[in-house]
Amino acid sequence: MNAENNRFPRTPYILLGLGAALFLFGSWWGLFLAPREQYMGDVQRIMYVHVPTAWNWMLAVIFAFVSAVMFLFTSNYKWDSRLEAGLEVSSLLAFLLCCQGSIWAKPTWGVWWDWDPRLTSVAVLLFAFVGIIALRNFVDDAARRAIWSSVATIIAAVDLPIVYFSVKWWNSLHQQPSSPKTVSSDFYIPLRVNAFAILFLMTGFIMLRARLASRRLANEVSTVPLMEAGETA
Amino acid sequence: MRGVVVGGWNYVIAAYSVTTAMLIVYAVSLFVRLTADRGPRTEDKG
């Protein structure tokens, strides 16, 4: 029996390759083919990376939340490996989101950062997930680590609806959510292409990171049944 | 100005560069960790 139960060993690499190709294509379209926006000018082109990052970050947080719930219900360690992957990749995307937003905020709002409800709630979730990753590194016992980080992830994920509705609930400086339905047809092709690009990249990253987590778990804890430690994403 | 942002390509280039760089760095870190972690496998040949 192999400690790694990789049913699809090449899938993450295919997804990463596809995601990188789509990202190049979508970015080229957004930078050079899409028209300049009327008020924000060329700065609006940041939308083609910022909005897809935001959508996929939300998906990554939902993935981490579902993994945490599934671990608590099943006690199957493959969900703990997926949780670890979801936490790390969603932290990466949240950090990226804050950097892109900050760069976009300077020419449009005049500041790099503002304690606006949307920005603050994203930052809270980023720091919460980074804290949970740190917690996982400090706890040696695999069972406690999995349970504690699952519970903490479920609590932290309560912030996600606040992030989404913050621009509706409060008179936020941040604009309302964008979607292909709310932007001109000239703009939504690169938006959609980059949304799929980052989706494929995120999925590839999560699969590889879950594989790494399951390997470490299988090497670390002999009491964990290997099939349960095996990553099956 | 009249509420219109003029120029700004440097911000666009910065945003795309940061995004691309972070994605590449994370992908490389994953490959490095996976390669480093590919030690002796726990295999049951039977």
pLDDT greater at residue A232 or residue A139:
A139
Chain B nearest-CA residue for A219: B42
User: Which of chain B's residues have a Cβ under 8 Å away from the Cβ of A210?
Assistant: none
- Taking the CA of residue B18 and the nearest CA in chain A, the distance in Å comes to 8
**Cβ–Cβ of B18/A104 closer than 8 Å?**
no
A interface test, pick of B13, B22, B23 with most A CB neighbours within 10 Å: B23
Q: What is the pTM of this model?
A: 0.87
Q: Are A195 and A55 in contact (CB under 8 A)?
A: yes
Query: What ipTM is given for this predicted complex?
Result: 0.87
**Cβ–Cβ of B11/A106 closer than 8 Å?**
yes
pLDDT by residue, tens only, chain B of 46 residues = 567 777 789 999 999 999 999 999 999 999 999 998 775 554 443 3
B35 in contact with A, Cβ within 8 Å: no
Kindly tell me if the per-residue pLDDT of A227 is higher than 70. no
SS (H, E, C) chain A: CECCCCCCCCHHHHHHHHHHHHHHHHHHHHHHHCCCECCCEHHHHHHHHHHHHHHHHHHHHHHHHHHHHHHHHHCCHHHHHHHHHHHHHHHHHHHHHHHHHHHHHHHHHCCCCCCCHHHHHHHHHHHHHHHHHHHHHHCCCHHHHHHHHHHHHHHHCCHHHHHHHHHHHCCCCCCCCCCCCCCCHHHHHHHHHHHHHHHHHHHHHHHHHHHHHHHHHHHHCCCCCHHHHCCCC
Question: Positive or negative, the Cα torsion across A111, A115, A121, A123?
Answer: positive
pLDDT tens digits for A62-95? 999 999 999 999 999 999 999 999 999 999 999 9
